[in-house]
Amino acid sequence: MRNYFLFGLVFLFISSCVRVADVQINEPVDGLRPVYAIGSWQEISITTPKPIDYLGKIYYKDDTIYAVEQYKGIHIIDNSDPTNPTQIAFLEIIGVRDLAIKGDILYADNATDLVSLDISDIENPKLLSRVEDLYPNLDQGFPQGYEGAFECVDESKGLIIGWEPATLENPSCWR
């Protein structure tokens, strides 16, 4: 019995020193793809309503719904008639994932920054302040808290503002 234990211990020690060959995935797999900021990501603008694709946090205030479109902006929806909600506008804020509202001030993340906007006139929101680089870990070469295949980061494409689900062809990055 002692010899089996000793043999098993030696085998475990030796096998822990052997490098496993890199895994090659030669078929499409579900994974994550980085989302890059396009153009000047610090610009904030109000536009016409857009289709809802990847909904995030929803906030309700004074018959108005503010719905985060992950990494793109905030849908502004008139809910004064709950049987017929109407999209009013889309507030473009690149990299937004979260929002909060207190009074007439909307707080949202703008990629690595935190911005506050005066929304007392929702058709003309005004930037009040910006705290730069509050979220410095946003631009990372891998998705946080994720295990699996993902598209490798191409730093020449700019700032990573998030990750989105995608079907990947022959991915070479994984965790």
Instruction: Please report, in tens digits, the pLDDT of each residue of the chain (175 residues total).
Output: 666 666 666 555 565 554 444 556 678 899 999 988 777 788 999 999 999 988 999 999 999 999 999 889 999 999 999 999 999 999 999 889 999 999 999 999 998 899 999 999 988 999 999 999 887 765 567 787 889 999 999 888 877 877 889 999 988 888 8
Q: Are 79 and 85 spatial neighbours (Cβ–Cβ below 8 Å)?
A: yes
Q: Which three-class secondary structure state does DSSP give residue 54?
A: coil
pLDDT value of position 172:
83
Residue with tokens 């909307």: 106
Pairing of strands 160-168, 86-93: unpaired
- Rounded Cα distance between 108 and 110, Å, is 6
Report the C-alpha gap between 133 and 45 in whole angstroms. Answer: 20
Please state the domain extents for the chain: 29-174
∠ CA(126), CA(133), CA(172), 5° rounding? Answer: 120
What per-residue confidence (pLDDT) applies to 19? Answer: 43
Instruction: Please give the CATH number for the structural domain made up of 29-174.
Output: 2.40.128
pTM for the whole structure = 0.71
Instruction: Supply the pLDDT for residue 27.
Output: 80
Q: The tokens of 119 are what? A: 């929304």
Q: Where are the alpha helices (DSSP H) in the chain?
A: 2-17
Residue 70 pLDDT = 86
Amino acid present at 174: W
